[in-house]
Structure 1
Amino acid sequence: MTRATTENPVRCAGDWEGVELGRRTVAYDESAAILYALAVGARATELDLVLENRLRVLPTFALTLAQWAPDQLGSRGAFDTATALHGSQRLDVLAPLPPRGELDLHARVANVWDKGGAAVFDVRVESRCFEATWSIFAPGAGGFGGERGPAKPKPIEREPDVEATTATSPDQAALYRLTGDRHLIHIDPEAAAHIGQPRPIMHGLCSLAASALGLARAVGAHPADLTALEGRFAAPVFPGQDLQVRAWHEGDGHVFDVAADGATAIAGGSASFTGAS
């Protein structure tokens, strides 16, 4: 497949596979990491998530540092940013994030899958502390003759081993957007109405991180001991809704799903923690 370059312009979505999105050095401090922890539901009593002198950084904070990569692909015209959706997210933790510092990040388009009526762009970001993959679902960009990609995991039919409820705040999206994703659909009712929603919606990554936080508490793990996390965004969550997490022990981790008011919001989830019971 031909890669998109200045000399080889894009002819179809598949031409973006393998395209480099660049390298960036990102810096942060304890305040940014604590703001993030509070935005995804950390409690004031969880001192090692919210107090500078004993801080353990939530691994999902890494996703705020790398959000520039899928945003850049959209700004280059790979997909229509008005209709594209964040389909799923993967995070693999390689080392703990320090309380403050700099990280060198490298981003590229790892895969482009052909779903027929749509394309899915896998944007991968790599660093010494983590690897993360955003899967962006782009309606109307498929049909270029590429591979369909991996199938969705089959749901587990037995009763869950763990159930937990995580409350979200009515103000949570307004707080989370200060971590970097300031898209108007998360704060402006008019923007939310433009995409067919009755009110502003939660960021998918906020819902995923909040669910992982609740799951860690339920299985007796420290949320900073997360080693891998994945989930597919199935439906929007509204700030103030409760997240019902159902999880099943599988291998060294858990598979899970998340519902809000009875509707599946995150499907095909998986999470692993060191020290989980």
Structure 2
Amino acid sequence: MTGQDFAGEWRGVDLGTRTVDYTERDAILYALAVGAAAADLDLVFEERLRVLPTFALTLAQWAPDALGERGAFDVRTAVHGAQRLEVLGPLPRFGSLTMKASVAEVWDKGSAAVFEVAVESDCFAATWVLFAPGRGGFGGERGPAGPEPQRTAPEHRLAVATSPNQAALYRLLGDRHHMHIDPAAAEAAGQPKPFLHGLCSLAATTLAVAQRYDAHPADLRRLTGRFAGPVFPGDELSVGCWGSDASAVAFAAEVGERTVLTGGEVGFG
């Protein structure tokens, strides 16, 4: 199905099923791209490897890309607004992952439409929330409001550094949208320069939260985050955390005075 006149007509569209192969090398490259260190042997050494659950999101990148390729929105200006992930089982160190995808919802924000792309597999269920300027105004429901900000001071404050080359490295894992590497494409998307993938900054934050709460990042069970502003390669995130143990932690992040992640929730166990 292509060329719908109204964004709302995409609701319920089947995006198909795909099986994606991956190797230990891919899982290790992913861990390094989101901030794992050489000393984290169970993330970067094949003899001890535990695959980060968020790696599955790179394997499923075909699903939101397929929606854009079918003409639901302008891929040059649409941005990743939020992400949800539920982990159903561990990813093997290597192998194949079969996934099915569909458009779960389309919300009308007036000047833009918000598409929710749902992907399911035996190992995870995830939803991409995509903000598409110029596709709203079709008379649909506005959908849920954004997350309420935390009303208390964070219980912990973490510093999460990013590398100047991090977007160039992360894009090799599948999300090759030009806005993350090409200054002209970034400008077309409304940014002054190429910016880091939201899923990369979210995964890097998850690693830091796991360390602070004495959890193993491969024990991730659920993750939610909203991308409130751009992170540029080389930025340092200041992450505020709320929660007494690793089973339920809320978080938000800023770069300087700029909010970049809101409504974050993560659980390990």
Which of residues 249, 259, 263 in structure 2 aligns to 1:264?
259
Residue 203 (1) aligns with residue 193 (2): no
Task: Note the residue ranges of structure 2 that are not aligned, 5 or more in a row.
Answer: none
Which of residues 255, 264, 271 in structure 1 aligns to 2:250?
255
Cα distance in 2 for partners of 1:129, 1:195 equals 33
> Which letter does structure 1 place at the counterpart of 2:179?
I
Partner of 1:233: 227
Cα distance in 2 for partners of 1:224, 1:151 equals 31
Instruction: Output one character per residue of 1:165-208: Cα deviation in whole Å (capped at 9) or x when no partner.
Output: 11111111111111111222222233333434333211111111
TM-score (norm 2): 0.95
Partner of 2:268: 273
> Which letter does structure 2 place at the counterpart of 1:259?
E
The 5-angstrom pairing of residues 70-89 of structure 1 reads 70-89=64-83
Which of residues 158, 166, 170 in structure 1 aligns to 2:160?
166
Q: CA deviation at 1:243?
A: 1.2
Q: 3-state SS of the aligned residue for 1:52?
A: coil
Q: CA RMSD in A?
A: 1.6
Cα distance in 1 for partners of 2:72, 2:267 equals 33
Which of residues 218, 225, 247 in structure 2 aligns to 1:224?
218
Cα distance in 2 for partners of 1:271, 1:15 equals 33
Which of residues 231, 245, 252 in structure 1 aligns to 2:239?
245
Q: Conserved in 2, the CA contact under 8 Å of 1:163 and 1:218? A: no
Cα distance in 2 for partners of 1:149, 1:196 equals 24
> Which letter does structure 2 place at the counterpart of 1:165?
A
> Which letter does structure 2 place at the counterpart of 1:273?
F
Partner of 2:176: 182
Instruction: Output one character per residue of 1:81-128: Cα deviation in whole Å (capped at 9) or x when no partner.
Output: 122111111111000111001111000000111112211100000000
Q: CA deviation at 1:250?
A: 7.7
Cα distance in 2 for partners of 1:101, 1:123 equals 24
Q: 3-state SS of the aligned residue for 2:126?
A: strand
* 1:96–1:262 Cα change, 3 Å: same
TM-score (norm 1): 0.93
Cα distance in 1 for partners of 2:96, 2:258 equals 39
Residue 147 (1) aligns with residue 141 (2): yes
Moved more, 254-263 or 93-102: 254-263
Instruction: Output one character per residue of 1:22-65: Cα deviation in whole Å (capped at 9) or x when no partner.
Output: 00011101000000000000010010000001100011100100
Task: Note the residue ranges of structure 1 that are not aligned, 5 or more in a row.
Answer: none
* 1:96–1:113 Cα change, 3 Å: same
Partner of 2:91: 97
Q: CA deviation at 1:159?
A: 1.2
Which of residues 178, 184, 192 in structure 1 aligns to 2:186?
192
Q: 3-state SS of the aligned residue for 1:205?
A: helix
> Which letter does structure 2 place at the counterpart of 1:271?
V
Partner of 1:135: 129
* 1:22–1:243 Cα change, 3 Å: same
Q: Conserved in 2, the CA contact under 8 Å of 1:162 and 1:219? A: no
Q: Conserved in 1, the CA contact under 8 Å of 2:76 and 2:188? A: no
The 5-angstrom pairing of residues 31-50 of structure 1 reads 31-50=25-44
Cα distance in 2 for partners of 1:29, 1:122 equals 29
* 1:160–1:64 Cα change, 3 Å: same
